[in-house]
């Protein structure tokens, strides 16, 4: 049952990163992008009102590279639709939004002064369902 829940969780993440659309004006502001360029781990996740169990995401990493590429890392080797997902990312000039692959925009609702914590939110609209706000709290991997 746990593996089925993990599969569903990462299927939704993959859908969000590859199928949702958002509008963003790209920027070449390297300083804003470099503030986010590091490896991040998810420390909390919420889907609408549902809080995800830590076991569903605790070992997954999102690597944001300074060259504008990203990859989702799965150190457990658990088969997941999001494992091996990679592409390009870009932050806007003020660092309030990150766009993945030119289509999926997440709002950066918090970025700590130390650059070690970040929180993302984005809306997902699945056919036949209400709009749901997803939220990831991330911590820089040291």
Q: Is the pTM of this model over 0.85?
A: no
Mean pLDDT for the stretch of residues 11-21 = 46
- Per-residue confidence (pLDDT) for residue 79, from 0 to 100: 52
Residue 27's pLDDT is: 43
Assess whether pLDDT exceeds 80 at residue 37: yes
Mean pLDDT of the chain: 76
Pick the CATH number of 2-140 from 2.30.30, 2.40.128, 3.30.70, 1.10.287: 2.40.128
Question: SS3 sequence, the chain?
Answer: CHHHHHHHHHHHHHHHHHHCCCCCCCCCCHHHHHHHCCEEEEEEEEECCEECCHHHCCCCEEEECCCCEEEEECCCCCCCCCCCCEEEEEECCCCCEEEECCCEEEEEEEECCCCCEEEEEEEECCCCCCCEEEEEEEEECC
pLDDT in tens, 86-114: 899 998 878 899 999 988 899 999 999 89
pLDDT digits over 58-69, tens only?
Answer: 778 899 998 899
Domain boundaries, the chain: 2-140
């Amino acid at each position: 049952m746990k593996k089925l829940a993990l599969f569903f969780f990462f299927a939704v993440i993959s859908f969000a990163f590859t199928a949702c659309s958002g509008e963003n004006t790209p920027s070449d502001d390297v300083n804003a992008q470099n503030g986010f360029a590091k490896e991040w781990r998810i420390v909390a996740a919420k889907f609408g009102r549902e809080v995800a169990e830590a076991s569903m995401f605790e070992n997954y990493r999102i690597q944001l590279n300074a060259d504008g590429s990203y990859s989702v890392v799965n150190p457990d080797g658990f088969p997941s639709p999001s494992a091996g997902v990679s592409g390009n990312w870009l932050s806007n000039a003020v660092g309030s939004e990150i766009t993945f692959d030119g289509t999926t925009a997440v709002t950066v609702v918090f970025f700590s002064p130390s650059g070690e914590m970040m929180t993302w939110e984005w809306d997902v609209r699945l056919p036949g369902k209400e709009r749901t706000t997803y939220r990831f709290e991330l911590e820089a991997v040291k």
